[in-house]
């Protein structure tokens, strides 16, 4: 058996599979036959410098010629392979950490080393979706205790980059999502930085929502900054509001989250490890966590949120983070706007102390900022809210916000969407329910967040009395086609807003 026989020439096929390593080989390829490879076999693919594990898809057409091998784009990128390069394939050595996953499936408690090995192999790309899903499922549903969640969190922190701001206190905030328009982050950062705290805020783009903080901030300033640029902004202004996607913090989290989304579950242990590992890796020391609770929010019951709060604080303690969980109302969207541009409008109107600024957004921003000031121990307990209010209403927070945006490269105006469509009440009555999930869906169908101007501006809140024909909300879109998508959804769902 000569090594030569397992050698094939790479041909780019241009197949994009997100994070899945796929290798393409011909059915009649001598390597497949001699090695006994079958479709979906996980095999090792190597070049001179590196190697990956990939699932085999077998080509029975002339897409590949004899002696050629293809890779999905992510796999080609990891191997840094070039067209015509020689690749070597071989049977997979056992993935040792899967024995820990199996132990977890069989209800055994795992320790730090086991989680560390699992996370390392996940980042390597050694786990297939089947393995990832089994790991997530085995850890879901109360199957991890505080020790285990802490060990998993530590393993995730140490698996990626870790930022060090050379400050004793670095504050951060996080919201356990699910509430459209809940864009308090820019307000909290502006207040905290105006107070003199260090708050290097990295945010995500929307994954399933109509806007993430990074999408909203991108309307107003640049959010894709290099590590050096972020450092400069934070040193200069004490805070930043950037996209965290390039930071490679807790990289296993991004892989696990995609599988959790496919399963549509939020395992408590994974959720805590995900949030706290990102915060710790980003160099935070004191973190306020906003958990909105409501029937159509992510966390739906008082009981669930109390448990989550306790566990979050305990795990924070174990990994060296001071955590303050703030439970907020999650029964309806926050502010008026839903979608990047419309949320930016809300944020600016609060920071500029405009008379018509959405008061609920302002109050939430102040509440969280107040807690953060107190948690930092720089402001006496009981005085956080007043201090935050003074910073906001004096215009100091707005000045700081403007300075941060300018330091990030620009401070732009908000826009008006070219297509708007008013939605009116079908009858007279009281606004009884607002379905957060369906409102979010509607905003997404209208184009948010890809179309930055798209989204919804709400005109009613729970408890409002409305006349028949009164304005409920306005759909905003950049194209007529997207507006029509949203309208079609609207026509098929009469329970987006319930009037009684």
Which x/- pattern, by CB under 8 A, does the window 388-427 give for a copy of itself?
A: ----------------------------------------
Which x/- pattern, by CB under 8 A, does the window 36-75 give for a copy of itself?
A: x-xxx-x--------------xxxxxxx--------xx--
CB 14, min distance to a copy of itself, A: 3
Tell me: does residue 18 bind a copy of itself (CB under 8 A): yes
- Find out whether 474 and 243 touch, Cβ atoms under 8 Å: no
Judged on CB neighbours under 10 Å (0-12, 13-18, 19+), 50 is: exposed
Tell me: does residue 300 bind a copy of itself (CB under 8 A): no
Q: For residues 470 and 5, what is the distance between their CA atoms, to the nearest angstrom?
A: 75
Among 6, 10, 24, 401, binds a copy of itself (CB under 8 A): 24
Backbone angles phi, psi at 292, to 5 degrees: -75, 135
Which x/- pattern, by CB under 8 A, does the window 99-138 give for a copy of itself?
A: --xx--xxx--------------------xxxxxxx-xxx
CA neighbor of 22 nearest in space, from 6, 45, 46, 5: 45
89-120 as b/e, with b when 16 or more CB fall inside 10 Å?
A: beeeeebebbebbeebeeeeebebebbbbbbe
Q: For residues 411 and 255, what is the distance between their CA atoms, to the nearest angstrom?
A: 33
Q: Which stretch binds a copy of itself (CB under 8 A): 22-30, 118-126, 183-191, 283-291?
A: 22-30
CB 297, min distance to a copy of itself, A: 17
CB 489, min distance to a copy of itself, A: 11
What region does 353 belong to: left with phi over 0, alpha with psi -120 to 50, or beta?
left
Q: For residues 187 and 184, what is the distance between their CA atoms, to the nearest angstrom?
A: 5
CB 239, min distance to a copy of itself, A: 32
Residue 445 sits at the vertex; the CA angle it makes with 441 and 451, to the nearest 5 degrees, is 120
Q: For residues 382 and 100, what is the distance between their CA atoms, to the nearest angstrom?
A: 47
Which x/- pattern, by CB under 8 A, does the window 238-257 give for a copy of itself?
A: --------------------
CB 16, min distance to a copy of itself, A: 4
Tell me: does residue 306 bind a copy of itself (CB under 8 A): no
In the three-class reduction of DSSP (H, G, I as helix; E, B as strand; rest coil), residue 104 is classed as helix
Comparison of 142 and 377: residue with beta carbon closer to a copy of itself: 142
Comparison of 70 and 335: residue with beta carbon closer to a copy of itself: 70
CA neighbor of 44 nearest in space, from 79, 76, 89, 83: 89
- Active-site residue identified among 266, 290, 346, 360: 266
CB 34, min distance to a copy of itself, A: 7
Catalytic status, residue 266: yes
Determine if the peptide bond prior to 359 is cis (ω within 30°). Answer: no
Per rule CB under 8 A, count of chain residues that contact a copy of itself: 59
**Looking only at Cα atoms, what is the longest distance across the chain?**
83
Encoded tokens for 385:
């809210």
- Find out whether 311 and 272 touch, Cβ atoms under 8 Å: yes
CB 140, min distance to a copy of itself, A: 5
State the Rg of the chain over Cα: 25
Comparison of 415 and 485: residue with beta carbon closer to a copy of itself: 485
Residues numbered 256-295 forming contacts with a copy of itself, rule: CB under 8 A? 258-259, 262-265
Q: Where do contacts with a copy of itself occur on this chain (CB under 8 A)?
A: 1, 12-20, 22, 24, 27, 34, 36, 38-40, 42, 57-63, 72-73, 98, 101-102, 105-107, 128-134, 136-138, 140-142, 258-259, 262-265, 444, 450, 481, 484-485, 488
Instruction: List the catalytic residues.
Output: 266
């Amino acid at each position: 058996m000569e090594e030569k026989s397992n050698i094939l020439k790479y041909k780019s096929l241009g197949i994009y599979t997100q994070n899945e390593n796929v290798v393409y080989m011909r059915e009649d390829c001598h390597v497949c036959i001699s090695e006994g490879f079958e479709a979906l076999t996980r095999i090792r693919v190597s070049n001179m410098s590196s190697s990956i594990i990939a699932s085999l898809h077998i080509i029975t057409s002339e897409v590949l010629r004899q002696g050629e091998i293809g890779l999905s784009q992510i796999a080609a990128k990891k191997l840094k392979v070039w067209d015509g390069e020689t690749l070597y394939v071989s049977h997979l050595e056992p993935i040792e950490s899967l024995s820990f996953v199996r132990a977890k499936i069989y209800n055994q408690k795992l320790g730090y080393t086991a989680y560390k090995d699992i996370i390392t192999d996940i980042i390597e790309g050694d786990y297939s979706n089947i393995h990832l899903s089994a790991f997530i499922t085995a850890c879901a549903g109360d199957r991890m205790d505080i020790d285990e969640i802490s060990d998993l969190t530590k393993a995730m922190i140490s698996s990626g980059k870790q930022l060090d701001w050379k400050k004793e206190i670095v504050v951060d905030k996080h919201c356990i999502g699910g509430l459209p328009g809940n864009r308090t982050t820019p307000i909290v950062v502006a207040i905290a930085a105006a107070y003199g705290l260090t708050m290097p805020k990295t945010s995500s783009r929307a994954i399933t929502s109509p806007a993430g903080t990074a999408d909203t901030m991108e309307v107003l300033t640049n959010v894709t900054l290099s590590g050096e640029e972020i450092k400069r902004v934070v040193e200069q202004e004490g805070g930043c509001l950037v996209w965290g996607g390039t930071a490679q913090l807790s990289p296993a989290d991004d892989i696990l989250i995609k599988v959790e989304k496919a399963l549509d579950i939020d395992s408590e242990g994974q959720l805590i490890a995900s949030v706290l590992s990102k915060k710790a890796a980003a160099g935070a020391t004191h973190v306020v966590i906003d958990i909105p609770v409501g029937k159509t929010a992510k966390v739906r019951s008082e009981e669930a949120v109390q448990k989550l709060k306790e566990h979050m604080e305990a795990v924070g303690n174990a990994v060296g983070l001071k955590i303050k969980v703030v439970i907020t109302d999650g029964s309806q969207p926050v502010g008026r706007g839903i979608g990047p541009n419309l949320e930016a409008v809300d944020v600016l109107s609060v920071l500029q102390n405009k008379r018509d600024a959405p008061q609920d957004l302002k109050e939430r921003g102040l509440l969280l900022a107040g807690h953060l000031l107190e948690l930092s121990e720089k402001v006496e307990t009981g005085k956080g809210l007043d201090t935050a209010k003074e910073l906001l209403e004096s215009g100091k927070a707005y000045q700081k916000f403007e300075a941060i945006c300018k330091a990030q490269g620009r401070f732009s105006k908000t826009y008006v969407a070219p297509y708007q469509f008013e939605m009116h009440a079908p009858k007279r009555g009281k606004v009884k329910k607002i379905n957060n999930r369906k409102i979010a869906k509607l905003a997404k169908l209208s184009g948010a967040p890809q179309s930055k101007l798209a989204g919804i501006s709400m005109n009613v809140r729970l408890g409002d009395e409305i006349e028949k024909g009164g304005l409920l909300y306005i759909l905003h879109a950049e194209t007529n086609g997207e507006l029509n998508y949203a309208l079609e959804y609207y026509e098929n769902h009469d329970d987006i807003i319930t009037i009684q």
